Amino acid sequence: MQSTIGYAAHNPSAPLAPFHFTRRSLLTTDIQIEILYCGVCHSDIHQVYNEWGDSKFPMVPGHEIVGRVSKVGEDVHNFKAGDYVGVGCLVDSCMTCPDCQDKLEQFCNNAVFTYNSHDKHSNTITYGGYSKQIVVNQNFVLHISNKLNLAAAAPLLCAGITTYSPLKHWKVGKGDKVGIVGLGGLGHMAIQFAHALGAHTVLFTTSPNKAEDAKRLGADDVVISTNPQEMSKQASSFDFILDTVSATHNLDSYTALLKRDGTLCLLGLPNFPHPSPAIGNLIFRRRRIVGLLIGGLKETQEMLDFCAANAITSEVEVIPIQQINNAFERMLKKEVKYRFVIDLQSLKT
Ligand code: NAP
Ligand code: ZN
């Protein structure tokens, strides 16, 4: 066991505060990582506030981790001390079930999430990236290209893969009209990927002041979703809409915008369910609503390499860890542009 420090929530209403804990001793297939940066995902807020009802405390959040390898176990050959690496939402899975065999480890019944999960090796809760170091099985560690800025690469490990994966899975590309709903951490990555894949990309936002940024990121058009006239002009015109909104909202306004056979993909996971969608909107045009959870490790590496090759990156506001509680408040006010990333140098042991 090795001692380290992080920031933890001790219950859903207490602010995050310094917390001393231990990481497991290195197994032969493990990599020990000195954490340099960790992105702040809206899922961290949902879980700290126990909005999904399964939170375990104390909770050290953080699943957008970039760091430097400090030590490797004797059976690790793909990584060495000094390498820059990433860790996303997963740190283990069974590796034998059909989902793992298909490189979709996120759907494994025994997937172990980076925090708020159970580590079978140490029989403890997993603790995430709002901390100085982490120990992870080599199969769940990713290479970070030296073409990527380290702080800006951190959000790719969740916001990046979660938006890249559906666009690839549903084969979005040239000739498609694609909508992105919400310009936050996921949304700003989604615009860049949809644009890079050649789609005509439209942002739906509740924040008119984000329109200029959306165009700079690659949106061809911006629609203010609270304006019914603007929305109705878009009726039945989209092949695919990726909804990244973190709060409960009416889905009918978006299903009505899909063409025949169009797809609305939900990524946000709010604490209360959305109102039941109008079935007529679906059956009269064979439209569908789907959802998706992050992406597997192979695809995450592919996405990181795609970002390095296409100069795609996250726009970040780097903060010291002491500002984390304020960062949560600002995210809830839709003020983040477009991802907070914690600089772990600010956390002294
Ligand atoms: P974020 O940075 O806070 O962005 C969410 C955006 O949603 C906001 O910037 C805002 O965009 C819009 N929004 C917020 N409240 C709204 C409301 N009441 N009505 C309409 N729009 C609203 O959050 P994020 O980190 O991108 O995460 C978004 C969601 O995805 C969260 O629920 C998170 O848990 C989930 N998530 C899912 C996965 C997955 O695997 N499926 C992975 C990661 C995260 P505008 O200002 O442009 O309107
Ligand atoms: Zn996340």
Q: Are strands 288-291 and 316-320 parallel, antiparallel or unpaired?
A: unpaired
Report residues near ion ligand 2: CB below 5 Å: 41, 43, 158
Measure 322 CA to ligand 2 centroid, in angstroms.
20
CB of 207 closer than 6 angstroms to any ligand 1 atom:
yes
CB of 336 closer than 6 angstroms to any ligand 1 atom:
yes
Angle at 249 between CA 341 and CA 185, to 5 degrees: 15
Contacts of 276 (CB under 8 A, 6+ apart): none
- At 214-265, the pLDDT tens digits run 999 999 999 999 999 999 999 999 999 999 999 999 999 999 999 999 999 9
CB of 242 closer than 6 angstroms to any ligand 1 atom:
no
CB of 88 closer than 6 angstroms to any ligand 1 atom:
no
Assign 1 a pLDDT band (cuts: 50, 70, 90): confident
Residue with the two structure tokens 């590496």? 301
pLDDT at 16: 98
- At 277-321, the pLDDT tens digits run 999 999 999 999 999 999 999 999 999 999 999 999 999 999 999
Which of 36, 43, 243 shows the shortest CA–CA distance to 152?
36
Q: Look at ligand 1, atom 29, and give the residue with the nearest C-alpha.
A: 268
CB of 334 closer than 6 angstroms to any ligand 1 atom:
yes
Single pTM value for the model = 0.98
Residue 270 CA: nearest ligand 1 atom is: 32
Rounded average pLDDT over 266-271: 96
- At 122-148, the pLDDT tens digits run 999 999 999 999 999 999 999 999 999
